[in-house]
Each structure stands twice: as structure tokens, then as C-alpha cells.
């Protein structure tokens, strides 16, 4: 089954905020056609448009990796509801992964940054 991972950021009406996520994920997206960036709201591309475009490209399953530090209201209610609607509409598999802030690599990176700042 052809699977795409969608890195999901919140989105903002401030283009420079959204551009930070575009630049942050550009290298990975350039290297791997199975990786995409989408925004939950206020920015493009939307989760809905990335899923629809990817289905047209032959993808049948998706993993959504929230680029959020913690699981708040959006990840407890809004995003699961969006995913449920997309699954019903397109009859595809969409798995919501834990937010990136729960991954040990991010936790280690934060520790490294704090340690480096304290060492200055």
C-alpha cells in the first residue's frame, strides 16, 4: 500500500510563520516524495488538499505527524474530526501519530539547546 506521511503544522495568517515550516521541512520533502507538509488552518496547502492530491497520485494510506509540541484541543478534537471526515469521504487509511514534541529526539534536542545556552 502506497503510504504518505503528512507533517501537519497549525497554520497562521502570518505568512512568515507558515514559511518557517515550509523551510524546515523542505529538505525532507525534496528527498522523499512520500513526505508532504500541510496546515490545519489559515495556511496552504490544507490537509484536505494534500490528501486529495496524494490520492490522485496513487497514495492509499496516510500517516499524519503533528508538528505540535503537545496534545491540546486541536489534537484531541479538531484534527481527529478532520481525519474522520477525510476517511469517510475518500475511503483511505489515515493514522494520526503522536505530536512531534512527544518524540525522544525532540526532547533530546531541547536538552541540547538548553545545555548549550547555559554553557555560554
Query: What is the residue extent of each domain of the chain?
Result: 3-118
Give me the pLDDT at residue 69, please.
Answer: 95
pTM for the whole structure: 0.94
Residue pLDDT, tens place only, 77-101: 999 999 999 999 999 999 999 999 9
Sequence-distant (6+) residues with CB within 8 A of 51 are: 6, 38, 62, 86, 90, 92, 94
Check residue 45 and report its DSSP letter: S
Question: Angle CA(101)–CA(9)–CA(104) in degrees, nearest 5?
Answer: 15
- Which 3 state secondary structure label does DSSP give 2? coil
Residue pLDDT, tens place only, 18-63: 999 999 999 999 999 999 999 999 999 999 999 999 999 999 999 9
| Intra-chain end-to-end CA distance of the chain, in Å | 49
- For domain 3-118, say whether CATH 3.40.50.1400 is its number: yes
Amino acid at each position: 500500500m502506497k503510504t504518505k506521511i503528512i507533517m501537519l503544522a497549525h497554520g497562521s495568517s502570518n505568512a512568515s510563520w507558515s514559511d518557517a515550516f515550509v523551510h524546515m521541512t523542505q529538505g525532507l520533502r525534496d528527498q522523499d516524495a512520500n513526505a508532504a507538509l500541510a496546515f490545519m488552518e489559515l495556511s496552504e496547502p490544507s490537509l484536505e488538499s494534500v490528501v486529495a492530491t496524494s490520492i490522485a497520485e496513487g497514495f492509499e494510506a496516510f500517516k499524519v505527524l503533528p508538528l505540535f509540541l503537545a496534545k491540546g484541543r486541536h489534537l484531541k478534537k479538531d484534527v481527529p474530526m478532520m481525519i474522520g471526515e477525510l476517511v469517510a469521504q475518500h475511503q483511505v487509511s489515515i493514522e494520526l501519530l503522536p505530536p512531534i514534541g512527544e518524540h525522544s529526539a525532540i526532547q533530546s534536542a531541547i536538552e541540547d539547546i538548553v545545555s548549550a545556552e547555559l554553557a555560554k
